[in-house]
Amino acid sequence: MIRKATDIFSEWASIGKDEGMQRNHWNAVKKMFQILNKDQSQSFSFIDAGCGNGWAVREMLKNPLCLYAMGVDGALGMIERAKKLDPNGNYVFKDLMEWEPKTLVDMVHSMEVIYYFNDPKKIISHMKDKWLKPNGKLIIGLDFYKENMDCHNWPKKLNTKMTLLSIKEWIQLLKNCGLEDVKSYQTNSSDSFEGTLVLYAKKLN
């Protein structure tokens, strides 16, 4: 039977595979943080959507302009790990589609999460409408996309559903959500890796 992604990742947390993701994703996330922080002179608040063990929340909090950061994840094991690593941190166990923050934030970040949704437009619109302030920034990192041929077998390998779109289709999807200033980058490309697809956009109002 096809498994829920959050069940798989809860299991991964229990066998320490969250740390491997942290190591493998950090270079791309560094680049994503650079994009977010470019031209950012005012203090800001930040949500990591699908935060895993919460490492990106803790990294962002090292920036003195970041006054508040929190993570949300639908895998209980991941949130338990996050709270163990950082007992005073803000980590919420919830499905992203079923949650909204009490106060809107300036930045939403999500690394290797959004393609687990059957309808990425729905979750991105939800984050735009219910999470982000006007002028807020959204950044999404994806290794699972059409141009990265090596990833096409991942749904079979993991036995879960994933949505495979091309770079052009992702860009159009963000525009269809009403986001502005949409940009895409491929970071960490090499002879053996197509690179992480980074999508950036702003909510204007």
Ligand X SMILES: C[S@@+](CC[C@H](N)C(=O)[O-])C[C@H]1O[C@@H](n2cnc3c(N)ncnc32)[C@H](O)[C@@H]1O
Using CB under 6 A as the criterion, which residues of the chain lie in contact with ligand X when the complex forms?
5-6, 9, 21-22, 25, 50-52, 73-75, 78, 95-96, 111-113, 116
Residue closer to ligand X (CB basis): 91 or 185: 91
Instruction: Name which of 29, 30, 71, 66 is nearest 45 in CA terms.
Output: 66
Residue closer to ligand X (CB basis): 6 or 163: 6
Residue closer to ligand X (CB basis): 52 or 120: 52
Residue closer to ligand X (CB basis): 106 or 143: 143
Name the minimum Å distance from CB 85 to ligand X.
Answer: 12
Instruction: Name which of 6, 168, 129 is nearest 75 in CA terms.
Output: 6
Supply 103's token pair. 């106060």
For the residues of 30-80, what is the DSSP string, one character each? HHHHHHHHTT--S-EEEEEET-TTSHHHHHHTTSTTEEEEEEEES-HHHHH
Name the minimum Å distance from CB 137 to ligand X.
Answer: 17
Which residues on adjacent β-strands are paired with residue 28?
A: none
Name the minimum Å distance from CB 21 to ligand X.
Answer: 4
Question: What single-letter amino acid sits at 32?
Answer: M
Name the minimum Å distance from CB 51 to ligand X.
Answer: 6
